[in-house]
Structure 1
């Protein structure tokens, strides 16, 4: 194996080990490889090694790479900041959106999702740390937004997403991720069939998995440092 394949294998083993240590089934945690700024050749290499789901932050960068990988059965996830002038391209080219945080964008994504494609899977992003530099809604805004999202037939409401502060301690990571899990449980008690918790990156993956993450978004640990 080359270094990229080795790193991918190591991340997969870490996910398995962390899940087992928390008495979880490792197959309930999906690895989403964050390929932002990485060339199509590296994405293809990871795909050939068995990785099928890739996440992009920057729409134009993603749109340039997608045609080069058209022969690969990649499941594309959008994890960047949503802008109104980009919703059509997101709706047309991605299977998942992790960063939905407004009804306006939800309506645009719904209206612009091609009828020939299945509903767009969406996670609502929450800003539970109150950082102004981060997108996402506050906890009290969640239930009203979910109620409105259920009326959009071309979106499939799947779950919730969040990120801890970069300086968060391990204990603070656990606390934040547990808070998101509890919110998902509360929403499901209210009748929503949410099944996705998108949380955890290279530096806080263990805490996220132990608190119930179903999708971890890992970039640097797979592709190496960005230049």
Structure 2
């Protein structure tokens, strides 16, 4: 038993429970996505054996290697990194969820490459601040973006992923989180709001997040940085 991981996930769950309680929410509404980039397969296996089933990867080749090494485990794999056009085929076939869809042409490619799979690919639209240079769809652009998904029979639009710009005040962060939470109601089948990381998940939960992306707080420092 990996006691370090065991202690980390216990501490995290206590904090999640507290955040949910303060927001008058059930802790069962919040799913933890373990961001496992830079972590070796044994560490992922150990965390899985402690009950964590959702893992998020940023880089396709790293993810494929881990998926092969851990293929005997019923892991729910999420892709959370930037999507390159030449990687959409492998991403569409290798993951249960994709959090970072930010262009219609990316959705078109994912839909085409998911053809023939038993279940649709769960996707989240990546939302960015209106004045941000990050990848993503602005709030103003999002409504037209959502409409386009009606044409994609192999994709299931589950919700939104939001990663705010750094340096915001607590008040501004809460305000922006709430705007994204409100936007989720515009998605007919929307049930997933991927929002909050190790630095700010407490506020994200209080603002309506249903999935938090946790790396360092679960695993500790990564083995490398990219």
TM-score (norm 1): 0.94
Task: Give per-residue Cα distances to partners, 1:42-71, cap 9 Å, x unaligned.
Answer: 000100000000000111111111111001
Task: Give per-residue Cα distances to partners, 1:98-137, cap 9 Å, x unaligned.
Answer: 11011101010011014233100001001115221x2101
Single out whichever of 18-27 and 112-121 deviates more from structure 2: 112-121
Q: Is the 8 A contact 1:91 1:114 kept in 2?
A: no
Structure 1 Cα separation of the partners of residues 161 and 85 of structure 2 = 20
Count of residue pairs the alignment pairs up: 222
- Structure 2 counterpart of 1:164: 164
CA RMSD of aligned residues (A): 1.2
Change (3 A) 1:153 1:72: same
After TM superposition, list the pairs within 5 Å mapping 1:8-157 onto structure 2.
8-128=9-129, 130-132=131-133, 134-157=134-157
Could you list the runs of 5+ residues in structure 2 that have no partner in the other structure? none
Q: Is the 8 A contact 1:173 1:204 kept in 2?
A: no
1:222 pairs, out of 211, 218, 221, with: 218
- Structure 2 counterpart of 1:181: 181
Structure 2 Cα separation of the partners of residues 176 and 36 of structure 1 = 27
Task: Give per-residue Cα distances to partners, 1:23-57, cap 9 Å, x unaligned.
Answer: 00110000000001110010001000000000001
Structure 1 Cα separation of the partners of residues 141 and 117 of structure 2 = 32
Task: Give per-residue Cα distances to partners, 1:70-98, cap 9 Å, x unaligned.
Answer: 01100000000011000011000000011
Q: How far did 1:5 drift?
A: 1.6
Structure 1 Cα separation of the partners of residues 171 and 222 of structure 2 = 28
Structure 1 Cα separation of the partners of residues 154 and 115 of structure 2 = 9
- Structure 1 counterpart of 2:189: 193
Could you list the runs of 5+ residues in structure 1 that have no partner in the other structure? none
- The DSSP-based 3-state class of the residue aligned with 1:173 is helix
Structure 2 Cα separation of the partners of residues 41 and 114 of structure 1 = 33
Q: Is the 8 A contact 1:129 1:164 kept in 2?
A: no
Q: How far did 1:168 drift?
A: 2.0
Single out whichever of 19-28 and 5-14 deviates more from structure 2: 5-14
- The DSSP-based 3-state class of the residue aligned with 2:32 is strand
